[in-house]
């Protein structure tokens, strides 16, 4: 089957918008799952250890997605502290 390819021109701002929207969709989907909460916790821990204050934004976002779910809150907390301890003790991969 022959496929016709079309050339599409994007400005840098168009490309940035498309990437930004895609990342936000993925984060929304991930934040509502156990695996997503664990990944957000690990990302926040890495940013925290590196002195990047944006980990507060990640933590707030994750909290919003947990929306009172104690199981997800506990999972996030354990994953955050475990990853932070691992990184601070020099066991970084």
Which of 50, 25, 26, 30 has the alpha carbon at shortest distance from 40?
Answer: 30
40 CB-near residues (< 8 Å, 6+ apart): 27, 30, 31, 58, 61, 62, 65, 76
pLDDT band at 93 (very low <50, low <70, confident <90, very high): low
Q: What domain count does the chain have?
A: 1
- Whether residue 76 is contained in a domain is answered as yes
pLDDT band at 66 (very low <50, low <70, confident <90, very high): confident
CA 68 to centroid of chain Cα atoms:
19
- Whether residue 5 is contained in a domain is answered as no
Higher pLDDT, 27 or 74: 74
- Whether residue 22 is contained in a domain is answered as no
- Whether residue 14 is contained in a domain is answered as no
Per-residue confidence (pLDDT) for residue 92, from 0 to 100: 53
- Whether residue 7 is contained in a domain is answered as no
- Whether residue 26 is contained in a domain is answered as no
pLDDT at 1 over 70: no
pTM of the model: 0.61
- Whether residue 83 is contained in a domain is answered as yes
Per-residue confidence (pLDDT) for residue 17, from 0 to 100: 93
Which of 52, 37, 55, 49 has the alpha carbon at shortest distance from 90?
Answer: 49
Per-residue confidence (pLDDT) for residue 85, from 0 to 100: 94
- Whether residue 13 is contained in a domain is answered as no
Domain extent, residue 40, equals 34-93
């Amino acid at each position: 089957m022959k496929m016709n390819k079309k050339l599409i021109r994007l400005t840098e701002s168009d490309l940035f918008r498309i990437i930004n929207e895609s990342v936000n969709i993925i984060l929304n989907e991930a934040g509502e799952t156990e695996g997503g909460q664990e990944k957000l916790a690990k990302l926040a821990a890495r940013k925290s250890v590196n002195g990047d204050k944006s980990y507060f934004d990640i933590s707030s976002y994750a909290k919003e997605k947990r929306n009172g779910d104690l199981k997800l809150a506990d999972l996030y907390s354990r994953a955050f502290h475990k990853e932070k301890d691992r990184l601070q003790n020099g066991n970084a991969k």
